[in-house]
Amino acid sequence: MKKLLILAAAFAIAAHIHAWGAGAESFTDDAGRKITVTSEDTKKTAVLQGSILSLWLLSGGEAMAATDDCFSEPPEMTEKQAAEANSEWETDSFSAHKKGVFAMHGKTGNAANVGTMMHPNAELLISSGARFALLSANIQSHRSIARILEGAGIKCAFFDYDGFGSYMRILKIFCALNGRQDLFERFGSAQQSRVAAAESRKPGSGKTFIMIRASSASVSAKASDSVPAALMIKQLGASNIADTDSLLTENLSVEKIMKDDPDFIFVITMGADERKALESVRRTLSSNPAWASLSATKNGRFIVLPRELFHFKPGARWAESYEILERILGN
């Protein structure tokens, strides 16, 4: 039985920053560098990764330049297409949306497109008039382009956004830079106690799972430290069989899943076409007759997770996502 449910993640907080929005602000970025910016800098911000942009927008910031992943993914889905997908996968989790709505939270504004996330265009960034740039600490090309931007007088800060803990840390910094403590309380503090409560109940204790990431071209199992959704489930007490069996991450097959026979099978999709990604799962795994003998399949615990909450980070919906996962694991 195919089933689609909604999720999202959460965890802790720690930020080195001074007063809320009062004049120049100083903070330590995730590359360990002390950065000082003014309100004039933050009014002219460029963002080089969609997930970082979502936090900047939540904190009340605006972007005058952004990379194309902030605009182009996921593709638009009409009401008819959503209804067809819901019918095929026996769920109500697909919904109509416009292009880029999850990455940009519906606020594309007049931001200039300055190239791809992996290879931003330095010339376009400099000509955009940006005075402050937010970059990923995990993309090597961002280190290189930062040297060019700083040489042109653009201040740069690196961030590593990989889960709820880093969400809280970065959101606190961004809200301070934008002088919006109210937004930190709304989107940060209000979520933290709910996430901690879900984690303390450990609904996944004694249960096992596998996290599968699918695209139109590939299907692979993911370790808990490689995708936020798997880490969230682990934090709720369940054990990821891919954490202890490297063969699952190297070459996934139904036979290898059968060896550990997890209680839950979760799927997240990536790429331009969600349904093509799910067809890869069907072709690679669920079309195998042995698939029906898996415990997760027999018990209705094969769950496809919506990309807006699992492939993309859920932003203001981290607590909601943990609570949904808690309900899934508790059944």
Lowest mean pLDDT of 18-22, 182-186, 230-234, name the range: 18-22
- Per-residue model confidence (pLDDT) at position 95: 60
Question: Does the pLDDT value for residue 39 go beyond 70?
Answer: yes
Residue 105 confidence (pLDDT): 40
Which of 132 and 109 is assigned the larger pLDDT? 132
Q: How confident is the model at residue 80 (pLDDT cuts 50, 70, 90)?
A: confident
Measured at the CA of 60, the angle between CA 55 and CA 63, to 5 degrees, comes to 70
pLDDT digits (tens, 9 = 90+) for 241-253: 999 988 888 889 9
> Quick one: average pLDDT of 49-55?
91
Q: How far apart are CA 310 and CA 8, in angstroms?
A: 6
pLDDT for res 97: 58
pLDDT digits (tens, 9 = 90+) for 285-304: 999 999 999 999 999 999 98
Among the listed ranges 49-53, 103-107, 229-233, which one has the minimum average pLDDT value? Answer: 103-107
Quote the mean pLDDT of the chain: 85
* Residue 68: predicted pLDDT: 84
**What is the DSSP secondary structure assignment for residue 84, as one 8-state letter?**
H
- The answer to whether residue 82 scores a pLDDT higher than 90 is no
Residue 19 confidence (pLDDT) above 50: no
Q: pLDDT tens across 308-331, in order?
A: 788 878 888 999 899 989 999 997
- Say what percent of the chain tops pLDDT 70: 83
Residue ranges of the chain that CATH labels 3.40.50.1980: 3-8+198-330, 25-191
Say if domain 3-8+198-330 classifies as CATH 3.40.50.1980: yes
Q: Which CATH superfamily is domain 25-191 in?
A: Nitrogenase molybdenum iron protein domain (3.40.50.1980)
> What mean pLDDT is predicted for residues 41-47?
96
Secondary structure tally for the chain: helices H, strands E: 16, 13
Using CA atoms, how far apart are residues 150 and 177, in angstroms rounded to an integer? 19
**Token pair for 260:** 């550990």
Give pLDDT, residue 290. Answer: 94
DSSP 8-class letter at 21: S
pLDDT score recorded for residue 220:
93
Does residue 231 sit in helix, strand or coil?
helix
Q: What is the mean pLDDT of residues 179-187?
A: 95
How far apart, in Å, do the first and last CA atoms of the chain sit? 16
Would you say 232 and 321 are in contact if contact means Cβ atoms under 8 Å apart?
A: yes
pLDDT number for residue 96: 63
Return the top range by mean pLDDT from 47-51, 54-58, 109-113, 120-124.
120-124
pLDDT at residue number 89: 55
